[in-house]
Amino acid sequence: MRKQIAAANWKMNLTWTQGKRLLEDILGGGVSVKSHQQVVFGVPSPYIPLADEIVRTKDRYAISAQNCYEKKSGAYTGEIAAEMLQSIGIKYCIVGHSERREYFNESNQVLAEKLNRCLENGIVPIFCCGEPLSIREAGTQNSHVETQLKESLFHLSPDQLKSVVIAYEPIWAIGTGKTASTEQAQEMHACVRTVLADKYSPAVADDISILYGGSVKANNAKELFSCPDVDGGLVGGASLVAADFLTIIQSLK
Ligand code: PGA
């Protein structure tokens, strides 16, 4: 059975004092995370080992990196290799967030390499896809996302694919307060699953967790997560407020 996941994406926010407090408030929030559920905190790079120390002993909670580099190692000042994450026991890495695609020109091809590096090192990539507003307005969002999946994922074996978490994040909904409707979310998630079923198999597609991201809030998470093909969320702004993120965790199926 695929996992239901609440993944926080702190982006470039919070001092360590604030972040530590947030983690402690969430872990101490008295919410029970069931065995088919997982909570992941995508924290800024300098906090990864510190945050991991806090969640390490807690089942069903894990720390994620927000990015890694596409090369294995070498003279790439300032970059973080997947092998480095693996060497300190980190299990997740966000790959291809739309902000990385937009501000750092990450192409589908570069992201395919990042996925390879994660998988070689036993790290679950949280692979982000999603269309900008212009594509949504033109009504070509399905083929846009299909191309992202094809160019970044389709070289993977079925077993490798099963280790990938996909996050569908319509760019027009990220940080804008404009959430996709449950119909829009379900339609795209079903489309992603069909694309995977056609390339791999229905059984493989059925095993993949597909998260929704884009203005997930405490007051809309339950409705979004109730869609049959929505397996939780990748949450930015609302993950920075303990009470809100706790409600989002409790909204998982
Ligand atoms: P948001 O961000 O929840 O603030 O819209 C989501 C994301 O970018 O992952």
Ligand 1, CB cutoff 6 Å, lining residues: 9, 169, 174-175, 213-216, 234-238
**Residue 133: predicted pLDDT:** 92
**Residue 177: predicted pLDDT:** 80
| Ligand 1 centroid from CA 170, angstroms | 10
62 burial type by CB count under 10 A (0-12 exposed, 13-18 middle, 19+ buried) = buried
SS3 210: strand
| Ligand 1 centroid from CA 90, angstroms | 22
**Residue 221: predicted pLDDT:** 97
Measured by CA distance, the residue closest to atom 2 of ligand 1 is: 236
SS3 4: strand
| Ligand 1 centroid from CA 43, angstroms | 13
**Residue 80: predicted pLDDT:** 98
Measured by CA distance, the residue closest to atom 7 of ligand 1 is: 236
Pocket mutation for ligand 1, best pick of 127, 234, 247 (most atoms within 8 Å of C-beta): 234
Beta strands in the chain (DSSP E): 4-9, 37-42, 61-65, 92-95, 124-129, 165-168, 210-213, 232-235
Helices 242-250 and 16-27, axial angle in degrees (round to 10): 40
Measured by CA distance, the residue closest to atom 3 of ligand 1 is: 236
222 contacts: CB under 8 Å, gap ≥ 6: 251
What number does the ligand 1 atom closest to the CA of 235 have? 3
| Ligand 1 centroid from CA 130, angstroms | 12
Measured by CA distance, the residue closest to atom 1 of ligand 1 is: 236
What are the phi and psi torsion angles at 171 (to 5°)?
A: -60, -30
CA 227 from chain centre, in angstroms, equals 17
Mean pLDDT by 10 residues, the chain (253 residues): 96 98 96 96 98 95 98 98 98 97 97 98 98 94 97 98 97 86 96 98 97 96 98 98 98 98
**Residue 174: predicted pLDDT:** 87
**Residue 224: predicted pLDDT:** 97
**Residue 180: predicted pLDDT:** 86
Q: What is the spatial distance between Cα 150 and Cα 35, in angstroms, rounded to a whole number?
A: 31
Q: Cite the active site residues.
A: 97, 169
Q: What is the pTM of this model?
A: 0.97
